[in-house]
Amino acid sequence: MATKIGIIGDGNVGSALGRGLTRAGHEVRAAGKDKAAVLQTAQWGEIVLLAVPFGAIDEVVADAGEALAGKTVIDVTNALDASMNLAIGFTTSGAEELQKKLPKARVVKAFNTVFAQNMDSGRLGDKPLTAFVAADDALAKKTVMELARGIGFDPIDAGPLKNARLIEPLAFLNIQLGYALGMGTQIGFKLLHG
């Protein structure tokens, strides 16, 4: 079913997922830093995808938090500090902190373990990449898994939002392999399963 998906953050990630979701038949609108556009996009979207730098989350919450009440919010952010190290871990996660800031939204962690370069197809060559999807709301999680499948990913139910504590460091491993260890962005995780 075609869904209106508002994307906040129109950079590498927002534009790649926007292309993938459009190709999958959804209606997509995206906004960058313009506060009025961020609010309009949050109001318009039936589902809203957050693809801003970790440090911009508080600003987005201030600009559009009210409009996100009752909506599924897909958190693609990686909780990295200015030195590109993990900013949060072990006892909480970026996604759980976002859920506290948006108590009336249904936060779903997804897509953050994938490089933007591979997000519009959800594939590396012809192989589907795994989209780990974690959320406390079962329906929101199922909906995001279907969006991921529509793009081309192999979606995996990764459990409650608390499991973002595991998924966010996995994204950091991806960044380490891709950039620090020189493997480049044509890599990605695939969970083998029957």
Ligand X SMILES: NC(=O)c1ccc[n+]([C@@H]2O[C@H](COP(=O)([O-])OP(=O)(O)OC[C@H]3O[C@@H](n4cnc5c(N)ncnc54)[C@H](OP(=O)(O)O)[C@@H]3O)[C@@H](O)[C@H]2O)c1
Enumerate binding residues for ligand X (CB under 6 A): 8-14, 32-33, 38, 51-54, 56, 59-60, 76-78, 80, 112, 115-116, 171
Output the CA–CA distances (angstroms, integers) from residue 131 to 119, 145, 158, 160, 163, in the order listed: 10, 8, 9, 15, 13
Nearest distance from residue 41's CB to ligand X, in Å?
Answer: 9
**Closest approach of Cβ 193 to ligand X, in Å?**
22
d(CA 183, CA 44): 39
Q: Are 3 and 27 spatial neighbours (Cβ–Cβ below 8 Å)?
A: yes
Q: Rank residues 81 and 157 by Cβ distance to ligand X and give the closer one.
A: 81
CB of 57 to ligand X, least distance (A): 8
Pick between residue 51 and residue 140 the one whose CB is nearest to ligand X. 51
- The label of the residue with tokens 């190709």 reads 23
> Residue 10 or 96: which CB sits closer to ligand X?
10
CB of 153 to ligand X, least distance (A): 13
Nearer to ligand X, 25 or 184 (CB): 184
Backbone angles phi, psi at 51, to 5 degrees: -130, 50
Kindly state the smallest distance separating residue 30's Cβ from ligand X, in Å. Answer: 8
Q: Could you tell me which of 147, 151, 153 has the C-alpha nearest to residue 130?
A: 153
Nearer to ligand X, 56 or 139 (CB): 56
| Residue number with the smallest Cβ distance to ligand X | 11
Q: Which residues contact 93 (CB under 8 A, 6 or more apart)?
A: 79, 109, 161, 162, 164, 165, 167, 168
